[in-house]
Copies of this chain bind each other. A is one copy, B any other.
Amino acid sequence: MQGSPPGSPATTSYTPTDRTTPTRSATQASYDREVVHAILDEGSVCHLGFVRDGAPVVLPTLYARVGERLYVHGSTGSRPLLMTGRADPGLAVCLTVTHVDGLVLARSAFHHSMNYRSVVVHGIARQVTDPEERRTALDALVDQVVPGRSRDCRPANAKELAATSVIRLDLEEVSAKMRAGGVNDEPEDLSLPHWAGVIPVRTAHGTPLTDPRLPPATPLPDYLTTR
C-alpha cells in the first residue's frame, strides 16, 4: 500500500499550498489535523469534484476517513470511478465536506452570513485494488454513516465486491474553513430597527422506521438507541 500508514501522520498540521490558502480572511482557516479530522468524522456525505471533457462535475457521494485516507465507493459502471482505472495515473479530484451550523442575520444585507465548518481536500484519487484495503474501506463507509453498523450486517460477497469500485484520496493537501459566533454589523448600523442574531442549524435524526419485513418486536440495536 502507498503513502503513510493510517493513523501515523508525520506532523500535527497539513502544509498549506497555494490552492489551500484563502484569498480572503473573513473566515478562519485551519490546517490542523485534529480540526480537519473532527469535521470529516461528523459527516458522511461529501461533494466530489472532477473534470470531464474540460468541464467541472460535482456529485454528492458517501465517504469514509481511515487515518489519513479518505475512501469513496461506487458502482464499477459509474463515470467518476471508471475514470480512475488501474492503468490510469489517477483522477484529480476535490472532495469537500460542509456542515452548516447557523444562519447569521445581520442588520445589513451585506453582513448576512452562515456559520459553518468545511474541509476541502485536493489530490489524486486512485483505485484501491488490495483486497484487504478494500474490505477495510467498505466497512469504514458503512461505519461512517452509523458507527458500529459494519459488524451487524452481511459483508459484501464476491459478486458484490466485483461490482464495487473503491477509490482512495490521501489527506495531504487539505484545509478547513469555518465561521462561528455572532453578528458582525457595522457600528453605525447598530441602531437600525432590524432584528439581528443567529438561527442555529443542525442535522436531526428522526425515529428509525423499521423495515416491515423484520420479525415483529425486533429491538433496535444498541448503536442506534445510543445515538
Where the two chains meet, the residues of A that have a C-beta atom closer than 8 Å to any C-beta of B are 19, 23-24, 26, 45, 47-60, 62, 75, 77-79, 92-96, 98, 100, 103, 105-110, 112, 114, 116, 118, 120, 122, 138-139, 141-142, 145-146, 149-150, 152-157, 160, 164, 182-183, 185, 189-190, 192, 194-214, 218-221, 224
Indicate whether A197 sits within 8 Å of B183 (C-beta atoms), given known contacts A58-B120, A60-B118.
no
A103–B47 contact, CB under 8 A? no
A153–B194 contact, CB under 8 A? yes
Closest beta carbon of chain B to A199's beta carbon, Å: 5
Please tell me which one of the listed residues B51, B157, B192 contacts residue A56 in the complex, with CB atoms under 8 A apart. B51
Indicate whether A54 sits within 8 Å of B92 (C-beta atoms), given known contacts A198-B209, A211-B196.
yes
15 residue pairs from A and B, CB less than 8 Å apart: A26-B75, A47-B60, A49-B57, A56-B57, A57-B94, A108-B156, A109-B160, A114-B145, A154-B194, A182-B212, A196-B214, A198-B208, A198-B211, A203-B204, A204-B204
Please tell me which one of the listed residues B24, B52, B112, B156 contacts residue A109 in the complex, with CB atoms under 8 A apart. B156
